[in-house]
């Protein structure tokens, strides 16, 4: 059986892809980035080849040499990493020189196109994980209050607007006001910043977090993701509700995620692309 190429960032995402691929009998050719990818992935994937952020030629060669033609990009690489401390190889330098801008999607699309020149096809990063996509409707026993639904509706419109500009995919709302918008720092840091802002203004945080897909989401990269590691952070930040785009957001360890969210007093629900109707 043809192996699956796996370019692994941080977090649980690459582990879940590797585990599910192996469960289906698909061998995995895993590539990791030092300081980003968890070395423990080597045991799960049956091997791990390292390359530096900014290299294109070396990972292409590693994948082709081991017979992988279809490739998945899974796991987080902090967006700020794309702008500092990167020493591109000749192919990456050529790609970077041809960019019209330095938005994340622009960079990743150019990288994907460069891999395609060598016959390597990037496929949906949700491959084998469709069962973890957020469903439409409640994930938790705790449901949204009317005020939380109103805040989610406001946040949804704002989140879709910023996602359309490839700025971020998360917005945090409290009492009818947008408190924080995600930039390069990621969802957890955005939520922590929103809690700090609420406390600075003398309010106890009671946050509604909205996380959406981009209007023309490319499933090959940068899918919205939530996982167990966020629950404690959300609880500490005073998050009371989490709205996710159904069918486009991966919820890792979904059953346990819902249990922990309920225990933390956080309502979680999936909504269609048009968002909640308040």
Residue 278's pLDDT is 63
Cα–Cα distance for residue pair 212/238, rounded to 1 Å:
20
Nearest to 98 by CA among 78, 117, 81: 117
Residue 183's pLDDT is 87
Mean pLDDT, 10 residues at a time, the chain of 278 residues: 94 95 96 94 96 90 96 80 64 86 84 95 95 96 97 97 91 96 90 94 91 92 90 96 97 95 98 90
Instruction: Report whether CATH 3.40.140.80 matches the domain 130-271.
Output: yes
| Residue spans in the chain of domains classed CATH 3.40.50.20 | 4-122
As to burial, measured by CB atoms within 10 angstroms (0-12 exposed, 13-18 middle, 19+ buried), residue 115 is buried
Specify the fold of 4-122: Rossmann fold (3.40.50)
| Residue spans in the chain of domains classed CATH 3.40.140.80 | 130-271
Residue 92's pLDDT is 84
Residue 80's pLDDT is 47
Q: Are 253 and 227 in contact (CB under 8 A)?
A: yes
Any alpha helices (H) in 117-185, and if so which ranges? Answer: 146-164
Give me Rg for the CA atoms of the chain.
19
Residues 6 or more apart whose Cβ sits within 8 Å of residue 26: 1, 2, 3, 4
């Amino acid at each position: 059986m043809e192996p699956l190429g796996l370019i692994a960032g941080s977090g649980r995402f690459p582990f879940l892809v590797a585990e599910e691929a192996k469960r289906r009998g698909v061998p995995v050719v895993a590539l990791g980035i030092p300081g980003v990818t968890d070395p423990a992935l080597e045991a799960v994937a049956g091997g791990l080849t390292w390359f530096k952020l900014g290299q294109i030629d070396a990972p292409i060669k590693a994948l082709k040499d081991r017979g992988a033609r279809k490739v998945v990009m899974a796991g987080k690489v902090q967006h700020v990493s794309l702008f500092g401390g990167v020493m591109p190889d000749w192919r990456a330098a050529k790609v970077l020189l041809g960019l019209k801008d330095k938005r994340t999607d622009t960079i990743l699309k150019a990288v994907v196109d460069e891999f395609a020149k060598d016959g390597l096809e990037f496929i949906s990063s949700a491959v084998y994980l469709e069962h973890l996509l957020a469903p439409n409707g409640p994930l938790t026993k705790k449901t949204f209050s009317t005020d939380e639904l109103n805040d989610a509706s406001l946040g949804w419109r704002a989140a879709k607007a910023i996602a359309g500009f490839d700025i971020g995919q998360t917005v945090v709302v409290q009492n009818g006001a947008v408190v924080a918008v995600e930039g390069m720092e990621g969802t957890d840091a955005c939520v922590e910043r929103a809690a700090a802002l609420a406390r600075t203004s003398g309010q106890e945080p009671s946050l509604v977090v909205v996380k959406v897909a981009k209007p023309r989401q490319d499933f090959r990269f940068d899918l919205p993701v939530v996982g167990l590691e966020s629950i404690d952070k959300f609880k500490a930040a005073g998050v009371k509700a989490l709205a996710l785009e159904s069918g486009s957001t991966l919820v890792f360890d979904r059953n346990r995620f819902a249990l922990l969210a309920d225990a933390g007093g956080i309502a979680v629900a999936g909504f269609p692309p048009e968002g909640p109707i308040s």
